[in-house]
Amino acid sequence: MEYSKPVDVYRELEKTRSRLEMTGIISKFLVTVPEDELSVIILFLMGRVFPQWSEKEPGIGGKMIIKAISSVSGVTESRVEDKIRETGDTGLAAEKLLKRKTQTTLWTEKLTVAKVYENLEKLAGLTGKGSQDRKIGYISELLSFADPEEAKYIIRIILEEMRLGVGEGILMDAIAQAFNVDPKLVENAYYLTSDLGEIARIAKLKGNKGLEGIEIIPGRPVEVMLAQKIDSITEVLEKFGTVAFEIKYDGARIQIHKNGEDVSLFTRRLENVTVQFPEIVKYAKENIKADVAIVEGELVAIKSLKDRHPRPFQDLSKRIKRKYEIPEMVKNIPVEINLFDIIFHEGKSKTNEKFKERRELLKKIIEETEEFRLATQIITGNPEEADKFYRDALALGHEGVMAKNPDAPYQPGSRVGYMYKIKPVMETLDLVIIGATWGEGRRAHWLASFLLAVRNPDTGEFLTIGRMGTGLTDEHFKEMTELLKSEISEEIGKDVKIKPRVVVEVAYEEIQKSPTYESGYALRFPRLVRIRTDKGPEDADTIERVEGMLRG
């Protein structure tokens, strides 16, 4: 397929913000896409090169893009930078400059989707000496083949700045409409595979029967079941009668996939962290008494193997992010895992079984140790007993308790009211950082003011809701700068645009209506609670939640 075909669709999508219209545009297009290119087209529509769970990424910064645009357009790098500042959009700047490009190519054939994907995929595999020049070469080749409008979207995909407003929800609806399949089956398949491209292919070829046949595959992460918030133990007892209470550990949710001698670890945002936690891999091999299983638990950084009180969440974050000097991290920041669920066992999904039955199976196949153990649990309908368990959890330094319906199945990817979290602190918001400003004086080398955003679940867009800059220590500014520097997509003076990847938990005094920010609301005195390395932008709080909190 010629790349001009999806470009026509991008142009149409940019003209509307209506969910129905966007779904219709994409649906009509998907019908025309060859089956072997559906996966790539779905990714491109979301502004991605690789699936969310893939470890691959293009690894291209703004400087490399500027060099490639300069090379192909024949203008200086400083002129490219000026045009980016003028337009506020690297893709648009490239389009304008390439309309007058002086460099030509010997090739005359049309740019294809396959060629775009081939070059972008090569970017992810390049490392070491000379890799930067080779990356610029692959990008320059695409820009040379592309017409100016095509170049705009290629650059936006590389920088993950497509701005089409196409989220998973719209794509799921479009797939269902295009191939006349049940939307619920599309949604369920997505929660089991986290791969809309593959789902579209199966829907096209095999329809509803194919989607019904999609199963959990060990080694591929499953979207986790999510908890809702609730105010009190009394309220949850009224809902369920008898409740399974577990400690809400101050850690990160981990999914462990064991398939023979192969063990993989995934965070709740589907990141593969197997390399970062070799001791958990070892424990899983030794202490999961099953050949094939997928179990879930909470990973906690502890003070020592003798003192199981939790360390600050940021210590665990350091381990999740670190991909080198692993033995040193294992020694300096010990961890334990507290297992609480099993969703797959010896070739069979357990998601439709009751939680109390899944817990019994978990007990049977786990040989507990001090570091690899079952989550502490009581099952009770007694408010006094439940309250004591809750207070004991807080005394241990954890966040509170989880309250679960013992008779509930496991519903991947959903907040369906099967489990609740109870915490004593005021509600916070999980927000995405999408921009920042360089500091002044002694903070001139640090990002010192962070633009926060909530998620629009319909479009996938991030809507600004405030800036956070006060109340942070020098250590905070340093850590945030190190974390965000590689995510900068554009710089305009002291202001920078940041790819929406980093989630932070934010406390605040109140939420006010405000025309200043895109959400229509502003946070008063927002302050950092912690960086949520265990969450991705798709886990950020939504505009609906903000509005619900205001309604009380």
Question: What residues are labeled active site?
Answer: 248
Do the strands 377-380 and 372-374 form a parallel or antiparallel pair, or are they unpaired? unpaired
Q: Residue 474: count other Cβ atoms within 10 Å of its Cβ.
A: 10
Q: Which ranges constitute the DSSP H helices of 99-158?
A: 113-124, 131-145, 148-158
Q: Which residue has the tokens 């381990």?
A: 319
CA-nearest of 549, 541, 550, 538 to 53 is: 538
The Cα–Cα gap between 252 and 535 comes to 9
The answer to whether 497 and 439 have CB atoms below 8 angstroms apart is: no
The sign of the CA dihedral 536, 538, 539, 544 is positive
DSSP symbols for 451-467 = EEEEE-TTT--EEEEEE
Please list the helix, strand and coil fractions of the chain in percent, rounded to the nearest 5, in that order: 40, 20, 35
Dihedral sign (CA 341, 342, 343, 349) = negative
Per the structure block, which two tokens stand in for 283? 């424990």
* Residue from 291, 312, 294 nearest 302 by CA: 312
- Dihedral of alpha carbons 303, 304, 309, 314, sign: positive
Q: HEC profile for 429-455? A: EEEEEEEEEECCHHHCCCEEEEEEEEE
Contact 280, 335 (CB under 8 A): yes
Q: Which residues have C-beta within 8 Å of that of residue 90, sequence separation ≥ 6?
A: 62, 65, 69, 84, 155, 156, 159, 161, 489, 490
The structure tokens 């309220």 sit at: 235
Q: Which residues pair with 524 in a beta bridge?
A: 510
Q: Walk across the sheet containing 243-248 and list its strands.
A: 228-229, 419-422, 400-404, 243-248, 377-380
CB 143 within 8 A of CB 72: yes
Residue 108 is inside which H or E element, if any?
none
Token pair recorded at residue 397: 């330094």
Rounded to whole angstroms, what are the CA distances from 76 to 60, 159, 165, 291, 306?
20, 21, 33, 60, 61
